[in-house]
């Protein structure tokens, strides 16, 4: 059973998110009536980001059909291209959807959102993700943001994945919840760790707080790097009997060395 600290964190998170969204919502409505500087190039626009800047974002062009890893060379005749890792060791989820490579300016936007509480960036990223998922015709019954450990949640004040889930849920008209999965190992910061060390650090990182009574679940995170975190979370859901699991994220990190050649205009 989840501890009282878990529930206290859960409700504190809900209150903070509602207050933040109200502020962001009022600001966005005001901006829709009068041109404001593009968030990326400062040219006047009635959108948060102007059309040329949106076109220049590092959209994923071709990716592994299952884990979403950006791929350099894909045979156009191949309907479901798979990366080497999915062929050797398929992940415990069916698909991963990510609209962007984890490259500038997406890296800076996610960093501002996570570490400087820039909720406007969170809303924008969540909206872009939602539109991408709608274009991909993603159909799920429930969205579960990847939980933070309670210590990190207290430090940051909010869970960035839950914030994104709110916006995705609003567009897709699919419920989301934070009371299914619980993070029980704080782990060490994953960025920069070798793949094997990262996967080892995620071992038994999650446990179920309750079993959802749905067929298809979407796990949602801001960035998927090696996939160790979402693999661990999906494994936990699979063990609990959830039959169909997909993953969605704002950005997917390309393999080192691929980064420069992958991003181009959509």
Contact 133, 248 (CB under 8 A): yes
- Distance between CA atoms of 4 and 233, rounded to whole angstroms? 22
Contact 233, 204 (CB under 8 A): no
Show contacts with Zn ion in window 62-101 (CB under 5 A).
Answer: 64, 66-67, 69, 83, 86
Q: Report the nearest approach of Zn ion to the CB of residue 153 (Å).
A: 30
- Distance between CA atoms of 221 and 83, rounded to whole angstroms? 21
Q: Report the nearest approach of Zn ion to the CB of residue 226 (Å).
A: 11
Q: Report the nearest approach of Zn ion to the CB of residue 253 (Å).
A: 13
91 or 145: whose CB is closer to Zn ion? 91
**Among candidates 71, 218, 80, which has minimal Cα distance to 139?**
218
38 or 98: whose CB is closer to Zn ion? 38
49 or 209: whose CB is closer to Zn ion? 49
Q: Which of 19, 32, 41, 55 binds Zn ion (CB under 5 A)?
A: 41
Site membership for Zn ion, residue 139 (CB under 5 A): no
- Distance between CA atoms of 222 and 199, rounded to whole angstroms? 18
Question: Could you tell me which stretch among 35-43, 120-128, 235-243, 245-253 binds Zn ion (CB under 5 A)?
Answer: 35-43
Q: Report the nearest approach of Zn ion to the CB of residue 130 (Å).
A: 21
Half-sphere exposure of 7 (CA within 13 A, CB side): 5
Site membership for Zn ion, residue 249 (CB under 5 A): no
* 247: helix, strand or coil: strand
Q: 221 forms bridges with which residues in the sheet?
A: 249
Residue ranges binding Zn ion (CB under 5 A): 38, 40-41, 50, 53, 64, 66-67, 69, 83, 86
């Amino acid at each position: 059973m989840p501890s009282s600290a878990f529930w206290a964190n859960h409700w504190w998170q809900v209150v903070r998110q509602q207050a933040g969204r109200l502020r962001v919502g009022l600001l966005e409505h005001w901006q829709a009536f009068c041109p404001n500087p593009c968030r990326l190039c400062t040219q006047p626009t009635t959108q948060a980001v102007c059309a040329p800047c949106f076109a220049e974002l590092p959209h994923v062009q071709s990716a592994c059909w299952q884990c979403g890893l950006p791929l350099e060379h894909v045979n156009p005749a191949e309907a479901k291209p798979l990366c080497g890792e999915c062929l050797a060791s398929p992940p415990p989820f069916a698909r991963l959807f990510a609209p962007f490579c984890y490259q500038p300016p997406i890296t800076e936007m996610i960093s501002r959102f996570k570490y400087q509480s820039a909720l406007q960036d969170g809303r924008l990223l969540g909206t872009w993700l939602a539109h991408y998922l709608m274009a991909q015709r993603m159909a799920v019954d429930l969205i579960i943001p990847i939980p933070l450990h309670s210590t990190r949640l207290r430090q940051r004040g909010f869970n960035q994945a839950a914030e994104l889930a709110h916006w995705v849920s609003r567009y897709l008209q699919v419920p989301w919840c934070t009371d299914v999965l619980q993070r029980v190992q704080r782990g060490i910061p994953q960025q920069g760790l070798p793949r094997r060390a990262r996967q080892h650090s995620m071992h038994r990182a999650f446990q179920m707080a309750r079993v959802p009574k749905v067929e298809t679940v979407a796990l949602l995170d801001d960035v998927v790097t090696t996939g160790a975190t979402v693999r661990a979370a999906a494994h936990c859901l699979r063990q609990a009997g959830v039959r169909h699991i997909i993953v969605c994220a704002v950005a997917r990190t390309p393999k080192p060395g691929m980064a420069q050649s992958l991003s181009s205009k959509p």
